[in-house]
Amino acid sequence: MAQRAVAIAPRWPGAAAAALVLVLTIGTLAAVGWRAEWQRGLSPADWAAIRFTVTQALVSAGLSVLLAIPVARALARRQFRGRSVLITLMGAPFLLPVVVAVIGLLAVFGRAGMVNSALAWLGLPAISIFGFHGVVLAHVFFNLPLAIRLILQGWLVIPAERFRLAASLNAPVGRLLEWPMLRAVVPGVFLVIFLICLTSFAVALTLGGGPRATTVELAIYQALRFDFDLGRAALLACVQFGLCVLAAAVVWRLSLVDTMGAGLDRTVQRWDLRWPVLDYLMIALVAAFLFTPLAMVVWRGVPGLALLPAEVWAAAGRSVIVAGASALLCTSMALALALRGGRMVAITGVLPLAASGLVVGTGAFLLVYPFINPARLALPVTVLVNATLALPFALRAIGQAVEGIDRDFGRLGASLGLSRWGWVRIVVLPRIRRPLGFGAGLAAALSMGDLGVIALFAGEAQQTLPLAMYRLMGAYRMEAAAGAALVLLALSFAAFWICDRGGRGNADL
Amino acid sequence: MLICEALVIEQDDFRLTADVTFNTGKITALIGPSGAGKSTLLAALAGFLAPASGRVMWQDMDLTAVPPGARPISAIFQDNNLFPHLTIAQNVGLGLRPTWHLTADERACVERALSSVGLAGLGGRKPAALSGGQQSRAALARVLLADRPVVLLDEPFAALGPGLKDEMLDLVQSTLGVAGRTVLMVTHDPDDARRIADQASLVAAGTVSAPVATQAFFEAPSPALSAYLG
């Protein structure tokens, strides 16, 4: 049907949510643009930061994609026990707090880590994880699984009949089927990861630093936090925004792929398979690369639990509250926007993808700083920013579900004379439990592990768990930091699991 | 009487005109080729489509600007007539009052409606636990309970096998027909019309023709109807 004769859902909450998103994205950007000292121009150090940001993102994205292709191919054509579990686990890094992963990577690749111990035993020189290598390593760690899943999806949408045809013609599967698929899929995957690496503040904060490994976001943080040079921070925030918008515009056109996508359980029967050993070796290496650091977090974390100072537990409590509030706000906004529907709302829903937490944070800092000590607003601002940044993901899940309900049951609801709130309460809410739970879990986990805007605002008294952990690392209290990492890891996954589980329940959909 | 007064419905480059009267208490079959606009006419009558011009009248009341839920009209669609997450009783209860909670009296009414369509005791089940025919019965029970004088049936039984479909048609006659509802039933099967309709109307070539008594409709078919029946 071309039109909906009646609007059955309430409309004002959607308008309110859209307004909030606009204030936090465009509004903070305006504040940043207004305070930026344009006449000052960019210093050589700023240019170095821009170069470093772009270079590391290019290299990280390139490496992730290159490594992902053979692994995705191996997973696409081999069937083995634990395959679907492995693929599911590859969705986990999306929820993994960056600082936790860094602790794990340090335990493997750090100064006293496994790799360097082995090198020393062999009489070889040690490697350093800090600087360019470290940033790229961490980015590959985070994005390789994403790249594998996305490229695997590409492999699995090649119809099985094509493989059968190729086999009967004795035609080369690689050139005939796989190469065209890769040419279609890989550029999009590369761009998505490039964008993610442009805005990963926490990785640069923990593994970068110094004149040769500073990203634009890290430079913003330093200008604001250490030099209190608001004009420069604002100027750099504008630069970062420009970078993000350029990348996001391209990515959105390519349509962000569902990072939690289902349907990867399928394998296609193939007739061109030799060298199974190589495939399995590849899978084993990647699994080791991804899961050793996580295992180390647990291994080192357990003894660290006893060393945790009381303020870390207080920080954990704050993190739980922030995560809960952010999940609630995020899903409420997503639901309100989804119920309102329409083009304006679709745009508001994707705006945060182009926003970097640090840019929004800088803008918010500039807005509140003249009136109130920013530290006092650290937690509310973190909730707002986290909820807004998670909004596109939640909206994608919830928006589709609400659209489907409108399509399938809109007429029935209208002909029964359901009121607007009745429609939401009796029909929409019970039917979107699953995406609602999933969205809430995503928002909660992302917020739980976020080390971005909170670092700009918080003092000792407002620190969340990721920030407390970062400070422990800065003070070289690595055992305690490892304990905090384990707590954070558990909290993040528990938050996701509880919300997602809650949405499953016994819903007859 | 349900009156389409110089009604014109436009959708993209599709155009349907209707200037007809459907008598109170009669079952009317709307027959015609697919794509002729039978469902579109029902959508306009139910209030889902705003007509380009003309009026929809029930007795002396102009319905044209009345929202779907406030019209004296119930509808059963081709599919999605029940909310899958609600029990059958809750679904049927929505015909009485659009809320979750019903009073004891209202629950008794729901139970009576369920027995009248042969679903006694099944109110606690979810739609997925019912067969296709039982789901149609539940939708019918809701329409009975809603107590609105006009009922639109948009091929709700098309997915059922022939035996079940006839059973449902008979049930429509013995419930809605006996209760004196004004029923408009879309079908492309002449046998459906012969089975229960008092009168029939051809929807073809962008117009809705005036309803004619069913027997006469088929015995002396108009040229357009002959073309359709083949």
ipTM at complex level: 0.87
What is the C-alpha separation between B220 and B212, in angstroms, rounded?
10
**Per-run averaged pLDDT (10 residues), chain B, 230 residues:** 93 91 94 89 91 92 90 90 91 86 89 91 91 91 91 89 89 91 92 92 92 92 87
Give the DSSP H or E segment for A343: helix A343-354
Scanning the structure block, which residue is given the tokens 């700009």? A456
**Which pLDDT score, from 0 to 100, does residue B122 have?**
92
- CA A314-A457-A48 angle, to 5 degrees, is 125
Domain hosting B97: range is 81-147
For A34, phi then psi, to 5°, come to -70, -40
**Which pLDDT score, from 0 to 100, does residue A253 have?**
64
Scanning the structure block, which residue is given the tokens 């919300």? A499
Chain A: residue whose CA lies nearest to B48: A5
Q: Is residue B114 part of a domain?
A: yes
Record the tokens describing residue A216, joined without a space: 């634009």
Contact A441, A495 (CB under 8 A): yes
CB spacing of B85 vs A417 below 8 angstroms? no
DSSP B57: E
Q: In this predicted model, what pLDDT tens digit does every residue of A284-299 receive, in sequence order?
A: 999 998 889 989 999 9
CB spacing of B81 vs A419 below 8 angstroms? no
Q: Is residue B65 part of a domain?
A: no
What is the C-alpha separation between B2 and B184, in angstroms, rounded?
10
Q: Is residue B47 part of a domain?
A: no
Contact B175, B140 (CB under 8 A): yes
What is the C-alpha separation between A186 and A439, in angstroms, rounded?
27
What is the C-alpha separation between B92 and A90, in angstroms, rounded?
45
CB spacing of A430 vs B85 below 8 angstroms? yes
Residue A285's CB: how many other CB atoms inside 10 A? 12
CA distance B159 to chain A (A): 17
Q: Is residue B181 part of a domain?
A: no
Which residues sit opposite A364 in a β-bridge? none
For A42, phi then psi, to 5°, come to -95, 135
Q: Is residue B97 part of a domain?
A: yes
CB spacing of A5 vs B50 below 8 angstroms? yes
What parts of chain A have a pLDDT lower than 70? 1-9, 251-275, 505-509
Give the DSSP H or E segment for B5: strand B2-11
Q: Which residues of A touch B12 (CB under 8 A)?
A: 2
Q: Is residue B131 part of a domain?
A: yes
Show Cβ contacts of residue B90 under 8 Å, excluding neighbours closer than 6 positions. B83, B100
**Which pLDDT score, from 0 to 100, does residue B184 have?**
95
CB spacing of A6 vs B47 below 8 angstroms? yes
> Domain count of chain B?
1
Chain A: residue whose CA lies nearest to B71: A415
Chain B: residue whose CA lies nearest to A424: B99
What is the C-alpha separation between B203 and B187, in angstroms, rounded?
10
- Which residue in the set A2, A5, A427 is minimally distant from B47, CB to CB? A5
- Which residue in the set B68, B95, B146 is minimally distant from A6, CB to CB? B68
CA distance A509 to chain B (A): 6
Mark out the alpha helices in A355-377 (DSSP H runs): 357-368
Residues of chain A in Cβ contact (below 8 Å) with chain B: 1-6, 408-409, 411-412, 414-419, 422, 425-427, 430-431, 507-509
- Which residue in the set A4, A418, A430 is minimally distant from B98, CB to CB? A418
CA distance B140 to chain A (A): 13
Coil, helix or strand for B153? strand
Record the tokens describing residue B35, joined without a space: 């794509």
* Burial state string for A490-506 with b = 16 or more CB within 10 A and e = fewer than 16: ebbbebbeebbeebeee
Record the tokens describing residue A7, joined without a space: 């609007």
Q: Is residue B10 part of a domain?
A: no
Scanning the structure block, which residue is given the tokens 């890989």? A186
**Which pLDDT score, from 0 to 100, does residue A3 have?**
39
CB spacing of B49 vs A6 below 8 angstroms? no
Contact A1, B48 (CB under 8 A): yes
CA distances from B179 to A353, B46, B106, B176, B184 (A): 58, 20, 19, 5, 14
Coil, helix or strand for A113? coil
